[in-house]
């Protein structure tokens, strides 16, 4: 896990967000997602600069959405510098 993923996992694990249970590094079809809450059908991805304008990510998100999941993507920098804002967005999605 990256530093940003570890920071977000400290927030998500142990049902710290409204009691929702998240798993990390979970396989969904032929993809491995960073974090997932099956109860809310919510996937969270934490991305570095290599993901900017990524066709592969768009294709992946479309597949996961077709499977009935919502996908939230956050930049590493946002997770590390604005964890409260990231949590607020996640809570709104839940």
Give the domain extent around 24. 3-93
pLDDT of the residue at 72: 97
Give how far Cα 28 sits from Cα of 7, 43, 70, Å.
23, 10, 13
Rounded to 5 degrees, what angle do the CA atoms 39, 44, 1 make?
120
More confident residue, 55 or 41: 41
Query: In the numeric block, which tokens belong to residue 18?
Result: 């409204």
Inter-residue contact 42 to 69 (CB < 8 Å)? yes
> In this model, does residue 94 exceed pLDDT 90?
yes
* 3-state DSSP assignment of residue 92: helix
Query: Cα(55)–Cα(41) distance, rounded to whole angstroms?
Result: 23
Domain count, the chain: 1
For position 29, which CATH number holds? 3.40.960.10
pLDDT in tens, 51-61: 556 788 899 99
Query: Cα(85)–Cα(64) distance, rounded to whole angstroms?
Result: 24
What is the β-pairing status of strands 23-28 and 31-37?
A: antiparallel
Q: What percent of the chain has pLDDT over 90?
A: 80
pLDDT of the residue at 64: 97
């Amino acid at each position: 896990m990256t530093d940003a993923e570890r920071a977000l996992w400290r927030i998500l694990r142990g049902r710290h967000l409204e009691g929702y249970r998240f798993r990390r590094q979970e396989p969904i079809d032929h993809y491995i997602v960073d974090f997932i809450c099956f109860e809310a059908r919510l996937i969270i991805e934490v991305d570095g600069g290599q993901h900017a304008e990524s066709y592969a990510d768009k294709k992946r998100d479309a597949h996961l959405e077709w499977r009935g999941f919502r996908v939230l993507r956050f930049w590493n920098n946002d997770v590390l510098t604005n964890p409260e804002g990231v949590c607020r967005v996640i809570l709104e999605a839940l």
